[in-house]
Each structure stands twice: as structure tokens, then as C-alpha cells.
Amino acid sequence: MARLVVLGGGVSGHTAATFAAEWLGSAHEVVVVTPNAKWNWIPSNIWVGVGQMTKEEVTFDLAPVYAKAGIIYHQAKALGIHPEGNETSDKPYVVVESTEAGKAGQIENIEYDYLINATGPKLNFAATPGLGDANGLGEFTVSVCTADHAVHANEELHKCIEKMKKGERQKFLIGTGHGMCTCQGAAFEYIFNIEHELNKAGVRDMADIKWISNESFLGDFGVGGLHMKAMGFAVSSKIFAESLFAERNVDWIIGAHVNKVEKGKVHYELLDGSMGEEEFDFSMLIPPFAGVGLKAINKAGEDITATIFAPNGFMKVDANYAAGAYENWKASDWPSTYQNPTYGNVFACGIAFAPPHPISKPMSSPNGTPINPTPPRTGMPSGIMGKAVAHSVCDRILKGPDAPLHEASMAHMGAACVASAGKGLFTGTAAAMTIYPVVPDFEKYPGTGRDTEYTFGEIGLAGHWIKHILHHLFIWKAKLKPGWTLIPE
């Protein structure tokens, strides 16, 4: 009997674990180690953050789902990996610390034959002074990265709405809280959902809404922007994004590294090296992401974290980490099997793998401060990677250790994204987009780097309907309800 241990029960890890359990059956063990008792459909946190959904609508209990799937579930967080075992045993294992009520803090070793690291991001609020505490519930700004954060954000938003109803003008500042952030899409959704809700509440004219981000142009989204086919043109996402911002009367500051947050004020540095300040009454700034801080120890008890993990804490996989300057970047730098180069039975997928470099062109201010988006790994690629890695592990368990690995490079896959711009069955809108491939391949698609036959975007009510249907579809899938394997990632 072989044992697969999956660290992290988020989008990527849950996909990997559930498919592995389905393919392996009861002859082998699938173990999930994840600190939360509940699964969260993170994209819908945006709607929790404006009071259009409750926390209960975007989360569900993991234990019954894993029990149904025959998955062994540890509500715990992984602390370290011992890929060579220790002095007394050659068997690799992970050290985990329980987060379960009544058992919290208890340490346990779990042995594995194969390990999938899908621990996602550490929300690194500490990178910017004042952005937030370790829980992310900052004193001065709010977040929508977890369902609890989003509940808090909605409470703060409604305090502002009440003030506006009493005639007090409010300033909203939404975007990224550091020069090296990713996930601009989530902030983009949140700013337009706020704008939509303020309109509905009849207080839009009392609000000044501003975007602040590390993108060098609006519509970069961490993927270096994209050209979409529209009206017979290949139109840059910059035009579309600026158009929406103008239409909804939202001003912007771009190329900004937020370096300090105080009560009601952010301090930032721009790409031209100048410094600025912006005041706010309500602010949601996405924190930068880092790896969750797993340690790696070899058989002799030496720390080999730097061998297995990149300096940002994400796990090294089959990527080209020596690509160097932007001019040398190639689509083939991006990993395809997500296998760790040192330990062949260890894989990383979703946000947990270390990307070879950004997708957007790297930039820095004359003061040497890097200000550019880091690469996003959104839901669809994270799910596809999780499934591919699970497939590889299952083949190696069932067909032998030399079974070929499955591939899912972000340079060969596309992504469908639906960015909400306001919720409502008849009044909602969302930007429905596809991008192919996620990582531009300028050799294959000279000029735009992408196939404009399969890269498109449009905003409208249809996009909102799709977003709402996807909410129910993905929760259905994650709960392993009938037909779940047929729903694509």
C-alpha cells in the first residue's frame, strides 16, 4: 500500500487529493493535511466583502467530504518536510501541528511515499508596515483574501455607507499593498463591486473611489496584459481596463509600491522614483504572497530548505530558474510536471510552486525598488496542475515508478476568468475573459505572445450569470456531488 500526502486543501490540493482518491481506490491511502476545518470558494469572497453573500454560502465543512471520499484528513498545518527520513528510518515524512479544537499545537509525523505541496500563499501582510497583523485583519485596511477577512471588510464598508447616508463624503482606496503583489484581479473585482453597491445604496455621489496598484499599466493583471479580439481589432487589456475605470468614474495610481500604511493614509513610491501619499476612509489592499514557510531537513538533520525552496518560500519544481534577464525569458522556462528536482516523489502545484520569473516585464524605480506584479496562478490553472500532478502520482503508484509524468505548463494552457463588476440577476456585470496561453509565448505568437483566436473578453450580464453559475458548480464539484469528475477545473 502506498501513501500520498497532500499538504493544503485549497483549490489545487483539494483537486489533487479528490482525484487521487478516486483513481487509487481503497488499495492506497490519500492523506490531506490542511489547517482549516472548512473549504472556501475564494473567488466568491468578493461578494461576501460587499454583503451580497454570507460566509456560510462560500464555505463548507471538509471532514464529511473527505470521509465520503475515503481520504484521511488531518486538520493541521505542515511545519517541515524530511524527504530522506531521519537517522532511524529512511522513510520520508512531514511534521505537522494540529489546529483542531482540543488538539491544537500537538505535533505529529506523517510518513509518505509521494508528497504534493499545495499550501498556497502566505498572506505576507508584514511586508508593508501597517498593512495588517498576522491574521490579516489590519488596524487600518481590510482584506478579502479569506472568508473571515471578507466578513470584516463588509462590516467596515457598511459603516462607510452609513456615514455617506448622513452626508459625510468617503474616500475609497483599493488595490495592491506592496510593489511585488499579485492577484490584481481580485482587487479589480472588489473595487467595481463596491462601486456597484454604492450606486444601489444611492450614495455613489458621496464617494471618491481610487485604484492603487503595482501594475505599470492598467489591465496588466500580472500577466503582462493581454490582447483581446474585439470589433475586428486585437485590443490591449489596457484600453478595456481604462475604459471601465473611466466609465465608472474610478481614478487610478499605477506603478506604485505601497511602503507604509497609517490610519487613513498610505505612503507609496512610484516607478519614476517619486514618493506620494493618499488618504482614505476605507481601503482594501491585497498583501504580497510568499511561501508558507515550510522547512526541509535531510537525514543528517541539516537544514536543506534552500535546496528545496526558493528564497520566497515557494517550492522549486522543473522550472528554469536561471533564465536571467527579461530578454532571455522563454515560455519553456515554465514548469510542466511540477516535480521537485531533488526529490522525485515530491511535487508542488497551485500557488505553492516557485515560478521561474514574473510574467509581466520586471521594473524598478530609480531608487532600486522593484515594482512589478508577480505571476498569478488563478483557479483554473491551479486546478489543472493539481489534477495533472495527482495523475502522475497515481500512475507511478499503479504502473510503476518510471511511469511518465503528466504535463500542465502554464505556457501551454489557457485560463478562463470571470471578473465580477457588480452582483445582480438583472443588473450585474462581469468581464468574461479567456487567455491562451497564460504565459505569453512570443516565439509561437509573435507580437502579442498569445493566440487571439482564443483570447477574448467582454463585459456584460452574461458574464455575471456565468460567475454565479460557476460559484455553485465549483462548490458542487468540491463537495464531490454526483457528476463532480465531469466538471472541468
Partner 1 sequence: MSKYGEKNIRAYGNNFTTMTPGPVAKWLRTCLIFQAIRFVIINIKMLVVVSKSH
Ligand X SMILES: Cc1cc2nc3c(=O)[nH]c(=O)nc-3n(C[C@H](O)[C@H](O)[C@H](O)COP(=O)(O)OP(=O)(O)OC[C@H]3O[C@@H](n4cnc5c(N)ncnc54)[C@H](O)[C@@H]3O)c2cc1C
Give which of ligand X, partner 1, none residue 454 binds (C-beta under 5 to 8 Å, depending on kind): partner 1
Cell 518510471 locates to 402
Q: Which does 463 bind (CB under 5 to 8 A by kind): partner 1, ligand X, none?
A: partner 1
What grid cell was written down for 305?
Answer: 530548505
Instruction: List Cα–Cα distances, 120 to 86, 128, 319, 416, in angstroms.
Output: 27, 20, 18, 20
The reply on whether position 212 binds partner 1 by CB under 8 A is no
194 contact, one of partner 1, ligand X, none, CB 5-8 Å limit per kind: none
Q: Among the candidate windows 39-47, 125-133, 154-162, 453-461, which touches partner 1 by CB under 8 A? A: 453-461
The SS3 call for residue 213 is coil
Region 161-190 residues binding partner 1, contact defined as CB under 8 A: none
Closest contact distance (angstroms) between CB of 36 and ligand X is 5
Query: How far is the first Cα of the chain from the last one, in angstroms, to the nearest whole number?
Result: 29
DSSP letter at 127 equals: G
Q: Is the peptide bond before 335 cis (omega within 30 degrees of 0)?
A: no
Q: Write the DSSP string, 130-155.
A: TS--TTS--SS-B--SSHHHHHHHHH
Whether 418 and 380 have beta carbons less than 8 Å apart is answered as no
Per partner kind, with CB cut-offs from 5 to 8 A, the member of ligand X, partner 1, none near residue 459 is partner 1
Query: How far apart are alpha carbons 185 and 417 in whole angstroms?
Result: 9
Stretch that binds ligand X, among 1-9, 53-61, 394-402, 475-483 (CB under 6 A): 1-9
256 near partner 1, judged by CB under 8 A: no
Regarding 104 and contact with partner 1 (CB under 8 A), the answer is no
CA dihedral over 324, 326, 330, 332, signed as positive or negative? positive
CB 303 within 8 A of CB 296: yes
**CA–CA separation, 350 vs 119, rounded Å?**
8
Q: Grid coordinates standing for 251?
A: 481614478
Q: Is 446 in the site for partner 1 (CB under 8 A)?
A: no
- Closest by CA to 475, choosing from 37, 22, 42, 36, is 42
Q: Least distance in Å: CB of 407 to partner 1?
A: 11
Question: Could you say whether residue 46 binds ligand X (CB under 6 A)?
Answer: yes
Give 255-280 as a DSSP string. SEEEEEEETTEEEEEETTS-EEEEE-
Q: Can residue 264 be called a binding residue for partner 1 (CB under 8 A)?
A: no
Closer CB to partner 1, residue 36 or residue 434? 434
Work out the burial of residue 398: count CB atoms within 10 Å of its CB; fewer than 13 is exposed, 13-18 middle, 19 or more buried.
Answer: middle
Residue 340 found at the interface with ligand X (CB under 6 A): no
Q: Which of partner 1, ligand X, none binds 118 (CB below 5-8 Å, type-dependent)? A: ligand X
Q: Rounded to the nearest whole angstrom, what is the least distance from the CB of residue 34 to ligand X in the complex?
A: 4
454 contacts partner 1 (rule: CB under 8 A): yes
Figure out which of the listed residues 58, 145, 250, 478 binds ligand X, where binding follows CB under 6 A. 145
Q: Which of residues 396-435 bind partner 1 (CB under 8 A)?
A: 412-416, 426-427, 429, 432, 434
Residue nearest to ligand X (CB): 10
Q: Is the distance from CB of 399 to CB of 408 less than 8 angstroms? A: no
- Site map 374..393 versus partner 1, x via CB under 8 A: ------x---x---------
Closest approach of Cβ 121 to partner 1, in Å?
Answer: 22
Q: Which residues bind ligand X (CB under 6 A)?
A: 7-13, 33-36, 42-43, 45-46, 77-78, 118-120, 144-145, 183, 186, 292, 350-352, 377-380, 382, 417
Q: Which residues bind partner 1 (CB under 8 A)?
A: 239, 242-243, 245-249, 251-252, 380, 384, 412-416, 426-427, 429, 432, 434, 436, 454, 456, 458-463, 465-466, 488-489
